[in-house]
Structure 1
Amino acid sequence: MSKETISQIKEHLQKINQLDDPYIQLISADSRKGVQTAIGQFKRRIIRQQEAQAAFKNRFKYEKHYWQSGCKYVAGMDEVGRGPLAGPVVTCAVILNADFNLVGVTDSKQLTRHERENLYLKIVDEAEEVSIAVNDAPVIDKLNIYAATQDAMIRAVNQLHHRPDHLIVDAVPLKINIPQTTLIKGDQKSISVAAASIVAKEYRDHLMRDYDYVYPGYGFAQNMGYGTKEHLMGLESLGATPIHRRSFNPVPKYLK
């Protein structure tokens, strides 16, 4: 039996990142229930980390393929805000390098608000380059949401200091003279698209929380402009705001 206390063993296990570490073999014969529980928790933690690392590497396969094909700059692109009744559509282009190692970067919809906020700051800090472009409600009404999204995506690309050699785009093909790969659910398949989705969502969510102060009564800080019950009740009692999309039903019913 190990002479260490259970607390000391737990502390030691926090410093180990390999299932085959000799220390595990050393303490495995310790019959104390607390030690065996700690070993089980350690193994589950390491397995989760290994699975996350493997998934991260898999989401980097498109970028690595294009880098190996001679592309120096590969930009991942995504958008947020095509469906809401109010607020802008926000698009983002992110260029990463081979040293990027934020394993937690994945589809923004799978992350908590706290996780997205932390990753947003780290992505902006660690990415080779990040570019954001926005089209507001009047532009959306003028062009239609699909065309407004494409327009903003193209501007995000053109604003980049480094001209991409290849684009990886989530679902929306772009009329731009750059080779591109369009992926359905790209934020689950490409790490740079996932990074772009996190940045775009955080940027838009902050905008909508600011709009909640300017236009109270619609619940923008919670629903981000989507047509929730609270939002529809606000439309019915207060009418439409300047950030509402006139071309989206049922907004026209509430124009004053």
Structure 2
Amino acid sequence: MICGTDEAGRGPIAGPVVAAAVILDPDNPIEGLNDSKKLSEKKREKLSLEIKEKALYWAIAQSDPDEIEAINILWASMKAMQRAVEALPVKPDMVLVDGNRVPELKVPAKAIVGGDASEQCIAAASILAKVERDRQMLKWHELYPQYEFDKHKAYGTPKHLELLEKHGPCPIHRKGFNPVKRLLANL
């Protein structure tokens, strides 16, 4: 069984990095899988439901902002992917990882740059991770509406940076990320 894993949320300046691991059913293909960044939100939502329904196995895990601060975003991403793979109820024969590094796993793994666009199982993981992270950011928006996380999902957009400047960071902002770090240095 081949598992794909990918993460969502390395670039934002707030919130968790979320990873998913997916083992697709070769006898039950899913049309339209692609890198989550190349799909509309509506298409991702639809595919997420289909992946959860048709995949043999899937799991989602994350690293929260405190862990990101403690070990940096790269290692937090690796940790989230490791957790997702380990959360599967079966041990895959091989794990395909989007990117140029593989997390520490107890099974063989291969990094594939651009894998979320070339490997169906990685694309599926990319979609699950992105949809889950976006949903979490909508929940964070309810707690911190002044940052408008519902609009930018915590990416460092001009509007988010403006709101960060106006309100200062909230507990889920990544204090080691430059825009937040600069703001904190000037307080």
Task: Sort the TM-score into its range (normalised by shorter chain).
Answer: over 0.9
1:121 aligns with 2:73: no
The CA distance in 1 between the partners of 2:157 and 2:81, in whole Å, is 27
Does residue 151 (structure 1) correspond to residue 79 (structure 2)? The answer is yes
How far is the alpha carbon of 1:177 from its aligned partner? 2.6
Q: Which amino acid aligns with 1:122?
A: E
Deviation, 1:216, is: 1.2
Taking the aligned partners of 2:154 and 2:120, their CA distance within structure 1 comes to 27
Are residues 1:142 and 2:70 paired?
Answer: yes
Q: Does 1:80 align with 2:18?
A: no
| TM-score, normalised with respect to structure 1 | 0.70
- Richer in strand (by share): 2
Classify the secondary structure of the residue corresponding to 1:76.
Answer: strand
% identical equivalent positions: 43
For residues 176-217 of structure 1, what are the alpha-carbon distances to aligned partners after superposition, in whole Å with 9 as ceiling and x for unaligned?
231112100101110000000000000000111111111112
Q: Secondary structure of the equivalent of 1:250?
A: helix
Q: 1:239 aligns with which of 158, 161, 168?
A: 168
Say whether 1:191 aligns with 2:115. no
C-alpha contact (below 8 Å) 1:186/1:193 kept by paired residues: yes
Counterpart position of 1:227: 156
The structural deviation recorded for 1:130 is 0.7
Q: CA RMSD in A?
A: 1.1
Query: Residues 120 and 199 of structure 1 are in contact (CA less than 8 Å); yes or no, is this contact kept in structure 2?
Result: yes
Partners of 1:209 and 1:176 in 2: how far apart? Answer: 31
The letter for the 2-side match of 1:216 is P
Deviation at 1:252, TM superposition (A): 2.3
CA distance in 2 between counterparts of 1:75 and 1:154 reads: 12
* 1:182 alignment partner, one of 111, 125, 131: 111
Structure 2: distance between partners of 1:219 and 1:254: 18
Gap regions ≥5 residues in structure 1:
1-72
CA shift digits 1:65-95 (9 cap, x unpaired):
xxxxxxxx21100000001100100000001
Offset of residue 239 of structure 1: 0.6
Aligned residues: 184
Contact 1:168–1:193 (Cα < 8 Å) also in 2: yes
How many angstroms does 1:152 deviate by? 1.1
* Counterpart code for 2:30: L
TM-score (norm: length of structure 2):
0.95
- The structure whose RCO (Cα within 8 Å, separation 6+) is larger is 2
Contact 1:218-1:233 at 8 Å conserved across structures: no
* Structure 1 residue corresponding to 2:17, chosen from 68, 89, 94: 89
**Contiguous gaps of at least 5 residues in structure 2:** none
